[in-house]
Amino acid sequence: MIAFGGDYYPEQWPRDTWLEDVRLMAEAGVTMVTVGVFSWGLLEPAPDTFEFGWLDEVLDLLAQHEIAVDLATGTASPPAWLTYQHPEILPVDRDGRRLWAGSRQAWCPSSPVYRERAALLVRQLATRYAGHPALAMWHAGNEYGCHNAHCYCDTSAADFRRWLRATYDSIDAVNEAWSTRFWSQHLTDFEQALPPRLTPTFNNPSQVLDFKRFSSDALLSCFIAERDLLHALAPGVPVTTNFLVMLGFDKLDYWKWAREVDIVSNDHYIDAADPDAHIELAKSADLTRGLAGNKPWILMEHSTGAVNWQPRNRAKRPGEMLRNSVQHVARGADGVLFFQWRASRGGAEKFHSAMLPHGGTNSRIWRSTIELGRHVARLASVAGSTPRSQVAIMFDFESSWLLANEALPSTDVKHSRIVQDVYAGLWHGGVTVDFVPPGADLTGYALAILPCQHALSPAEVAPLQEYVESGGVALVTYFSGIVDRSDQVVLGGYPALLRSLLGLVVEEFDPLLEGAGVELDDGSTADTWSERILTEGADVVRRFSSGPLAGEPAITRNRVGSGEAWYVGTHLAGEGWRHLAAAMCTASGLHWAPVEGVERVTRYQGRDAFTFVINHHDSPRPIGAAGHDLLTGAAVDMDDVIAAGAVAVVHSAFARAQGDD
Amino acid sequence: MIAFGGDYYPEQWPRDTWLEDVRLMAEAGVTMVTVGVFSWGLLEPAPDTFEFGWLDEVLDLLAQHEIAVDLATGTASPPAWLTYQHPEILPVDRDGRRLWAGSRQAWCPSSPVYRERAALLVRQLATRYAGHPALAMWHAGNEYGCHNAHCYCDTSAADFRRWLRATYDSIDAVNEAWSTRFWSQHLTDFEQALPPRLTPTFNNPSQVLDFKRFSSDALLSCFIAERDLLHALAPGVPVTTNFLVMLGFDKLDYWKWAREVDIVSNDHYIDAADPDAHIELAKSADLTRGLAGNKPWILMEHSTGAVNWQPRNRAKRPGEMLRNSVQHVARGADGVLFFQWRASRGGAEKFHSAMLPHGGTNSRIWRSTIELGRHVARLASVAGSTPRSQVAIMFDFESSWLLANEALPSTDVKHSRIVQDVYAGLWHGGVTVDFVPPGADLTGYALAILPCQHALSPAEVAPLQEYVESGGVALVTYFSGIVDRSDQVVLGGYPALLRSLLGLVVEEFDPLLEGAGVELDDGSTADTWSERILTEGADVVRRFSSGPLAGEPAITRNRVGSGEAWYVGTHLAGEGWRHLAAAMCTASGLHWAPVEGVERVTRYQGRDAFTFVINHHDSPRPIGAAGHDLLTGAAVDMDDVIAAGAVAVVHSAFARAQGDD
Amino acid sequence: MIAFGGDYYPEQWPRDTWLEDVRLMAEAGVTMVTVGVFSWGLLEPAPDTFEFGWLDEVLDLLAQHEIAVDLATGTASPPAWLTYQHPEILPVDRDGRRLWAGSRQAWCPSSPVYRERAALLVRQLATRYAGHPALAMWHAGNEYGCHNAHCYCDTSAADFRRWLRATYDSIDAVNEAWSTRFWSQHLTDFEQALPPRLTPTFNNPSQVLDFKRFSSDALLSCFIAERDLLHALAPGVPVTTNFLVMLGFDKLDYWKWAREVDIVSNDHYIDAADPDAHIELAKSADLTRGLAGNKPWILMEHSTGAVNWQPRNRAKRPGEMLRNSVQHVARGADGVLFFQWRASRGGAEKFHSAMLPHGGTNSRIWRSTIELGRHVARLASVAGSTPRSQVAIMFDFESSWLLANEALPSTDVKHSRIVQDVYAGLWHGGVTVDFVPPGADLTGYALAILPCQHALSPAEVAPLQEYVESGGVALVTYFSGIVDRSDQVVLGGYPALLRSLLGLVVEEFDPLLEGAGVELDDGSTADTWSERILTEGADVVRRFSSGPLAGEPAITRNRVGSGEAWYVGTHLAGEGWRHLAAAMCTASGLHWAPVEGVERVTRYQGRDAFTFVINHHDSPRPIGAAGHDLLTGAAVDMDDVIAAGAVAVVHSAFARAQGDD
């Protein structure tokens, strides 16, 4: 079944509220809650003094009501006594400013004291609750790195040096990797290596890259330490931690993290100001499924309504929460959970919406919660399946990090933006996407896209080359394949490693000024980027028709083996990516089925197909699927329409999956 | 009489200039100067070495010329030797950055060393000048908290903990007040409590609130220490300190401060870029009168022309200084003083205008100063009186602090803006306003307004309830009464404490996106905020007519007892507040007398009425008062006009005050 | 001859690349390279351990290929071991933040440790390479102060106090200069003096001024220490260091620096977003020539294409690099060098263009490099000459510093902007400009301009007065002559020192609000500034025709002796400065020869004249010179046209220089 529920903080409420909570959870169809995320301070009120009584009581109550518990280890925020006794735990930012207690995550990921105290708590929890009937899953930490991903303190510096020693054979290998012959940065001993702290001008970009790798690994080792304890002390209980796969968060290399969790879970919040937030949601859900290796995953947190941390937190529109939730399920989520069950009275998130709002049960949000609970229950049969796709987007956290560096050709080239724009182009054609890591085997895909895949190693290029030669169609965008995995330019003409595959060389980058645009010869426009392309075998698909590069190639196609390698040397504007996506799909023999504003995703389960249809449009649209709707039980015909803003999950038992073998 | 003069810094000038100064003061009609505000460094050039000779001379000279002195204690800026010897006095900001000497107010309000040295100086001054014939008033410190209101150093942290111990019975009471069960912030000892220093993410908002209370109190205790010394050593001389009641300054809770000063005084500067600066001035003057308990107060500083600290400091237009000054007097000021008498040659304020500019007496500004001096002298008969009003606006510094916090529904909800907009609506109808503190007795008012009165306690609601039941009309705006005095949401449906009074419940907030607007069913528009209101007895006055809440209530009215409680669930735009104010005045039986751009305020003195008429418009307008003009001596008829930009003060001995008993 | 080449970093490349380098340098006509700028870390890999082998080899190779070397002392960036062993070397910013190693220039200019270690390296280099055949010039440091101009650490503070003791007779003299009687800033001992660190509000502006002087001097003394060592150990070899004369950099007082270098050199980069970047380039080149005392100078760095440190780094357009280079030569450069020879693979500047790009020789940029090398070689005969001008602009680094202070009448008054706008007005009329220091003898000029010459001493005014009386024409703009050299207002009516010369007094400044404009009576417009001018003998040339000063003077002219002193009390917009420049030239009897978009500058060599014609326009324009073109060898007639974007250098042996005697 699909889990339904949310974060539950009974410690914020008196005992008699707990009884009301479980009663209302039953009413709403809640099947799982996450407990204990921020309970360290109450579970261990003084060093080595533990108070588990209240948690025993809560877990027993939940077990009695058959509500499964995702039990948090509580290590996300250390208690006040710990940072009071050990201020050296507190993280330090790039400017050298200490970050104090009084919010959350005020701990340095490399702190031995933090790690030791966290392990002690986890050990206690695991021992105590290993066999508890409510326990369904462990929730290690919480949103690792949300606020403390990069610590520049002396402890972190020492740990970074340990990481460098483990990563590089010698200090000369670091010198090579960091290009320290530039700007007199030569190191003669590991002890001289530093985090990229505030400097007079641009930091060494390779040092920044390694520091981001180290930082992701430092937090990952915190997770692994907890996971290993949990596995040892409570065997058989899966361990997860909630990722933050959404626009604007790219601090951790989740490809590495995904290998370490027993089940992938994700927190997702929409940007209230983004009219296309549902497309960003779809992309994040697909990326999360990619991290999960195309297996189901859990939506650990989203919101019933407004959040509290954006500048202006609008309410969700009627039906929006349902659409959001169903979108996640369509793309592989086997759990729909929220932050949080009951809105807090005080603290920094008191104006964050919840399943049960401040106003109580006589409210629109509560009614929506109940309605959603019913819908989720009706989707039990889809559990365990995922959609399949013939389109892969290569997604690289390191390229995202690199494009956030200073001193690049243009500050407007943002990895998240190009990925989102390319993805949205496909979304409008009804194309579901698999996200794959750099260097992934692309066998079986009909179309593979590398959006601003800035760094590449030869080993990562090989499967791509092989894929195209074997008949695959690839699309590479500008500023891809420029540097190696040390952030050093691969010489031999940009993009050197892809030059023969693409049949071209880029002679010179020519970023566009702020607000400037350029035209292509089909009348479309582009912005942000242009470049001087010399073809070396590729056909020219589109040329620039204005600006200093008028007449020069903008989009090219190179036939290689039985496949094609396309290239885009600019950032398409307007519907440019959509049109290019349509052309690519045609070239790849893929179905291009645009229905304006309607999302249609199919999860496959043996011979069963479950087509999720979500109408984001403000008028009725063709439903485009036949069978019966799991949510209403009604028969559905291809010719039927789906109401504005509505959702349907059409089961067609006879369907043969696209790409099925 | 009405005092006239300004800050006087003879120490910046050679002795022979002093003689010119007193001669020119006499020419301008100066009756009072403030001396010694920044003289600590010269009065005590080395520890315990005092040099009072020059000050003796200055005071004697002023006494000879019958110019009263508001003698400053000089403690606003410690001398260089003190911060050199005791750098621990220097304040530290939220980021942990030390703020050094070299400007002003470089001291931590909690510093025992600062307090001890300040007390020593005050003792010396009080002893020496207690009986001096020039001494009319003491001026403790200067603009307390202008730059050092919030210090985060370890000394302040310790003092904050002392304040917490004095405020709360136990650390558990702090835990309750601060909702520390959220985010694992539980404290087990007062020693663990910290100022809200830089943290990884949002600070605990209740902790921020208490820190702002503490900070206001810490500075207030500095003032009280000086005042008590002055009272003891120079009995009978009133002690003041200059408040900063103006848009954008809300660091101190002046309701508490006002109780401690012998006479309220205020510094006010207009925003050169604000075309409605005169309305902001009116509001600040009314608020200052409110702080003074509807007794006269002193305008301690304003400017003859441009200031130097805004981005672009335009000159005042001809007549503008006179209008500004007369506005303040109209609303209760019994003193019109300036920063400063003579423009400084050097230092950070050398381009701040003065009564006597760099160019000397052959200047427009000097001629305006002389003209103003004559006008002020003619207003002697109004001294001691104040205007009376039947409209009260509840003004709450704590609500202003709370709305400046992070993680709220919308960053666009700013307390100062809503107060200003509501006030301006009334101003345009010729309505003078009394400002009252939260929980004030509203007996006698016909209309009471709570603009974004975010925090309320039950005790503060009671007088409001009683007021409406007894026939009063109240207007409450959105986001009022949401939290209690610990910044915790009052449960039971927003705004729980006002729900029965208003006859409605707010189901969900729905802030508008940046730049977005919404329409009401009378064709007017609103911005910033909307919310889903369910009426529970209230009549709907206006509904939203666009957006997701189209058709839902926007403005309501609830009849309670013999009164009415109105509510506005959005931020009116354009002339919205003006129209609502007109409607409210009609409902309250108040006179609504809009004359575009003309301000008309009456001060009452027994059976005498003095109607101040200030024409801010660029064409002549009806004067709307009868009697004779104190400034010209001319008889004035109701039908007369007042020239564009002109002022008149019409004395009508026969007038019967509105609301007189 | 005109030197041609660039920065060369062989240490970034393997040995076999060096051979390719010298071969390609020969192909491109490279005659000079700068070597060793960032080599400290490799030359001295451990304290007192030197490795000169690789540098010997590089210099020998260059000598063999007859490429002259500008040998850097390598002290711009200390090695990692030095800042590791001595973190006290690291600079500290105004906020108290330490700036760490990992970029460049991470050293405090006052650090004795840095200075000692730098001297040791310079001594080694000078001893070793004094007689090397490749050595043509020493390059001390690099871009002094680019990132570390202002250090606020305790070492700098102590050095600042030493500077104050050396500059002022007594602490009371400091008190007078700093106006410390304002805001209680009185100092009783030099030990109390501080750098202008972060303060609660505005720093003392005179203290800021002295700190900027000190900071420039501290770096200058670093340069002088190196220069003296080089002179002593390698007599006869000129010593230079590359200035940063370009828009936005004004940290050093280059008038003082220029006196200390053997030859002036400059680094210049255009702002990719500025459509008038070529005018800014012309201004910077003229200013550099002024610093060089109207002798030739060297363009030490510019770029072949995009840089990497601006937000969006567009490529140069075809012909743009050539135009840029020829512009510099026209205005006195006897060297055209680039950063850098070969584009770096890694590090923070890997996307900075170079003479030889990442893609190698089959590239547009490389072909442009070769073309430029040929052009430069053809200009050998102009070497040693400079243009002459009859127009002087007084340029004052200290006024630039003062106008960057806080608490001024308007933040929009920026020295660099007014200088640029005034200069551009003249540029459009084909007028070359000499820049002169404050107080310069103006004899021989026909027109002298003081753009926002905010500070003036009486001694600096005297030559100006004499110049006008003797028939010169002067133009002074608003906010000039307001303060003395301690940043104290000169009393007696603004601008007191210039009042009689200009025949007016400024009664009151009236800066315009953001985005606001004002009209003059000829229909032109102005922005930023207005002021109330009372004429005292001057004629009114233009009046304001809108706004509060409508009818008042805006531009005036005062006849003094046989000359004229003009004054502008506002900031002209649109083509205002161009029209005023035309009027001034007419008044001065100067040739006003506008050809839209064409730059025409003549360098004189005895009886030879070399007229550089650069067509910045997008269509052919009249060439306006006769003779033969050095670049093509072709004969040139006055009636000929020069193609869009093209350049020509017309030699006319018979020409008689304008202003020749």
The predicted pLDDT at position B655 comes to 47
User: What residue type is B424 in one-letter code?
Assistant: A
List of E strands, C198-329: 239-240, 242-243, 265-267, 297-301
Please report where in the chains the tokens 């072909």 appear, as a residue.
Answer: C367
Checking DSSP bridges between strand C553-560 and strand C539-543, what pairing results, if any?
Answer: antiparallel
CA distance B185 to B197: 14
Please report where in the chains the tokens 């006040």 appear, as a residue.
Answer: A80
CA distance B110 to A464: 66
DSSP string, A611-657: EEEEE-SSS-EE----EEETTT--EE-TT-EE-TT-EEEEEETT---
**For chain C, first and last CA: distance in Å?**
26
Q: Considering only the beta carbons, identify the residue of A45, A98, A306 that sits closest to B96.
A: A98
The predicted pLDDT at position C247 comes to 86
Neighbours of C233 (CB within 10 A): 17
Start and end residues for every CATH 2.60.40.1180 domain found in chain B = 598-652
Q: What is the pLDDT of residues A610-658, one digit of tens each?
A: 999 999 999 999 999 999 999 999 999 999 999 999 999 999 986 454 5
Which CATH entry fits the domain spanning A3-383: 3.30.1330.60, 3.20.20.70, 3.30.420.40, 3.20.20.80? 3.20.20.80
Measured in degrees and rounded to the nearest 5, phi and psi for residue A87 equal: -60, -15
Neighbours of A606 (CB within 10 A): 8
Q: B217: which residues sit within 8 A by CB, 6+ positions away? A: B163, B256
CATH superfamily of A391-588: Class I glutamine amidotransferase (GATase) domain (3.40.50.880)
pLDDT band at B659 (very low <50, low <70, confident <90, very high): very low
The predicted pLDDT at position C474 comes to 98
Q: A518: which residues sit within 8 A by CB, 6+ positions away? A: A512, A525, A526, A527, A530, A544, A546, A547, A549, A570
Q: Do A508 and C309 touch (CB under 8 A)?
A: no
- Which residues from C are below 8 Å from B77, CB to CB? 183-185
Radius of gyration of chain C (CA): 26
List of E strands, C9-53: 32-35
Q: What is the pLDDT of residues B275-285, one digit of tens each?
A: 999 999 999 99
DSSP for residue A312: B
**Tokens found for residue C52:** 């000169």
CA distance A306 to A317: 10
CA distance C345 to B71: 69
Question: Per-residue pLDDT for B260 more than 60?
Answer: yes
Residue A45, judged by CB atoms within 10 A of its CB (0-12, 13-18, 19+), counts as middle
Average pLDDT over residues A456-460: 98
CA distance A6 to A146: 19
Checking DSSP bridges between strand B641-642 and strand B621-622, what pairing results, if any?
Answer: antiparallel
Please report where in the chains the tokens 């060793």 appear, as a residue.
Answer: C36
Q: Which residues pair with B6 in a beta bridge?
A: B33, B338
What residue of C is the nearest CA neighbor of B145? Answer: C200
The predicted pLDDT at position A654 comes to 62
Whether A498 and A554 have beta carbons less than 8 Å apart is answered as: no
> Which has the closest alpha carbon to A24: A2, A6, A50, A45?
A6
Q: Considering only the beta carbons, identify the residue of C189, C206, C512 that sits closest to B312.
A: C512
Distance to chain B for C392, nearest Cα, Å:
30
CA distance B618 to B416: 28
Q: What is the pLDDT of residues A110-133, one digit of tens each?
A: 999 999 999 999 999 999 999 999
Q: What is the pLDDT of residues A92-109, one digit of tens each?
A: 999 999 999 999 999 999
User: What residue type is B576 in one-letter code?
Assistant: G
Question: Per-residue pLDDT for C660 more than 50?
Answer: no
* 3-class DSSP string for C387-453: ECCCEEEECCHHHHHHHCCCCCCECCCCHHHHHHHHHHHHHCCCCCCEEECCCCCCCCCCEEEECCC
**Tokens found for residue C652:** 């006319």
Is residue C11 part of the annotated active site? The answer reads: no
Query: Rounded to 5 degrees, what angle do the CA atoms B303, B306, B307 make?
Result: 75
Average pLDDT over residues A22-40: 98
B257-275 in b/e form (b: 16+ CB < 10 A) is: bbeebebbbbbbbbebeee
pLDDT band at C655 (very low <50, low <70, confident <90, very high): very low
- Which residues from C are below 8 Å from B102, CB to CB? 185, 194, 196-197, 199, 203-204, 207
Please report where in the chains the tokens 């109940």 appear, as a residue.
Answer: A370
DSSP string, A586-607: HHHT------TTEEEEEEEETT
Q: What is the pLDDT of residues B515-549, one digit of tens each?
A: 999 999 999 999 999 999 999 999 999 999 999 99
Start and end residues for every CATH 3.20.20.80 domain found in chain A = 3-383
Helix, strand, or coil here: A272?
Answer: coil
Query: Rounded to 5 degrees, what angle do the CA atoms B5, B9, B11 make?
Result: 150
Q: Which of A313, A341, A355, A362 to mutate to test the interface with B (most CBs of B within 10 A)?
A: A313
> Which has the closest alpha carbon to A164: A205, A209, A113, A222?
A209
pLDDT band at B221 (very low <50, low <70, confident <90, very high): very high
Q: Tell me how far the alpha carbon of residue B335 is from its chain's centroid.
A: 16
Question: Per-residue pLDDT for A661 more than 60?
Answer: no
Question: Per-residue pLDDT for C490 more than 50?
Answer: yes
| CATH architecture of the domain covering C241-385 | Alpha-Beta Barrel (3.20)
Question: Per-residue pLDDT for B660 more than 60?
Answer: no
Residues in chain A: 661
> Which has the closest alpha carbon to C570: C440, C444, C437, C413?
C413
The predicted pLDDT at position B656 comes to 53
Handedness of CA A247, A250, A254, A255 (dihedral sign): positive
- What is the CATH code of the structural domain delimited by B598-652? 2.60.40.1180
CA distance B293 to B283: 15
Q: What mean pLDDT is reported for chain A?
A: 97
The predicted pLDDT at position B661 comes to 40
Q: How many contacts, defined by CB atoms under 8 Å, are there between B and C?
A: 195
The residues of A annotated as belonging to the active site are 143, 301
CA distance A580 to A234: 51
**Tokens found for residue A23:** 């009663």
The predicted pLDDT at position C661 comes to 40
The predicted pLDDT at position B81 comes to 98
Q: Do B81 and C406 touch (CB under 8 A)?
A: no
H-only helix segments in A203-275 = 205-233, 254-258
> Which has the closest alpha carbon to A247: A288, A290, A303?
A288
Using CA atoms, how far residue B592 sits from A225, B445, B577, B588, C81, in Å, is 72, 15, 14, 10, 78
Q: What is the pLDDT of residues C348-380, one digit of tens each?
A: 999 999 999 999 999 999 999 999 999 999 999
Distance to chain B for A186, nearest Cα, Å:
32
Q: Considering only the beta carbons, identify the residue of A181, A197, A205 that sits closest to C42.
A: A181
CA distance A182 to C39: 8
Q: How many contacts, defined by CB atoms under 8 Å, are there between A and B?
A: 196
CA distance A394 to A477: 11
Alpha carbons within 13 A on the beta-carbon side of B323: 26
Q: Do C312 and A96 touch (CB under 8 A)?
A: no
Helix, strand, or coil here: A217?
Answer: helix
Residue B628, judged by CB atoms within 10 A of its CB (0-12, 13-18, 19+), counts as middle
Question: Per-residue pLDDT for C533 more than 70?
Answer: yes
The predicted pLDDT at position B657 comes to 46
Alpha carbons within 13 A on the beta-carbon side of A88: 9
Contact of C513 with chain B, judged by CB distance below 8 Å, is answered with yes
User: Where does residue A354 fall: left (phi above 0), alpha (psi -120 to 50 degrees), or beta otherwise?
Assistant: beta
DSSP for residue B124: H
Q: Considering only the beta carbons, identify the residue of B11, B309, B348 that sits closest to C181.
A: B11
Q: B417: which residues sit within 8 A by CB, 6+ positions away? A: none
Q: A645: which residues sit within 8 A by CB, 6+ positions away? A: A317, A318, A319, A320, A323, A615, A616, A617, A618
Question: Per-residue pLDDT for A660 more than 90?
Answer: no
Residue B625, judged by CB atoms within 10 A of its CB (0-12, 13-18, 19+), counts as buried
DSSP string, C537-601: SPEEEEEB-SSTTTTSEEEEEEEETTEEEEEE-SEE-TTHHHHHHHHHHHHHT------TTEEEE
Q: What is the pLDDT of residues B622-638, one digit of tens each?
A: 999 999 999 999 999 99
pLDDT band at B247 (very low <50, low <70, confident <90, very high): confident
Q: What mean pLDDT is reported for chain B?
A: 97
Start and end residues for every CATH 3.40.50.880 domain found in chain C = 391-588
CA distance A493 to C254: 41
CA distance C362 to C371: 14
Q: Do B200 and A347 touch (CB under 8 A)?
A: no
The predicted pLDDT at position C593 comes to 87
What residue of C is the nearest CA neighbor of A492? Answer: C359
Please report where in the chains the tokens 């003309």 appear, as a residue.
Answer: B598
Question: Chain A, 351-410: which have a CB under 8 Å from a chain C CB?
Answer: 406-410
- Which residues from C are below 8 Å from A180, CB to CB? 41, 80
Q: C275: which residues sit within 8 A by CB, 6+ positions away? A: none
